[in-house]
Amino acid sequence: MQQIQDITALAFSEKGSCYEFMNHDIKIFFGDLNFRVNMSYDSIINSIDNMTEENKDEEMHILLNNDQFNQ
């Protein structure tokens, strides 16, 4: 949810903007939201398969850093 707030803050932050996006009860996003992870398929699958309770933060950090949504 934090990422949506970041996007709206950047998209509707222009001073004098008539948009008060977060003040509405219903918000609709549309577009190409099929983001990809910039890693090989095998690397992604290995990262997920090898994820344990002990290393999940590290593995998720790697995946999220390579997620196109965050870039």
Predicted model pTM: 0.51
E strand or H helix at 2, and its extent? Answer: helix 2-11
Structure-model confidence comparison of residues 5 and 38, the more confident one: 38
> How far is the first Cα of the chain from the last one, in angstroms, to the nearest whole number?
17
pLDDT bracket for residue 19 (50, 70, 90): low
For range 13-42, the mean pLDDT: 75
pLDDT bracket for residue 68 (50, 70, 90): confident
